[in-house]
Amino acid sequence: MTGPLKDRNGFKVKYSTEEPGSNQTESWNKNFVDKDAISDWSKVRMIKIEQEQGYEIPAQTVENFDFTAQIDSNAADNTVARK
């Protein structure tokens, strides 16, 4: 990544420079910090997006979060990105 996701009302975005865990629960429990704590965006390995309590998303509504990331050109389909 080269910078944070755009701030969005109703959502809190946090970032982790730790390697992903072997499963979703393990990854979820890693150390995630606010964007102000990231000094080198190239080291971000995971993004956590949480819906804020009380924020409602209407039925049939899609919420998109766009960001730019670099993937090795030799990466095979359906592989996990690792550095």
For 47-72, write each residue's pLDDT tens digit: 999 999 999 999 999 998 888 777 77
Q: Is the pLDDT of residue 77 over 70?
A: yes
Task: Please give the pLDDT value at position 80.
Answer: 66
Task: Please give the pLDDT value at position 14.
Answer: 97
Task: Please give the pLDDT value at position 13.
Answer: 96
**Averaged over 15-21, what is the pLDDT?**
95
- The chain-wide mean pLDDT, for the chain, equals 88
SS (H, E, C) the chain: CCCCCCCCCCEEEEEECCCCCCCHHHHHCCCCECHHHCCCHHHCCEEEEEECCCCCCCCCCCCCCCCCCCCCCCCCCCCCCCC
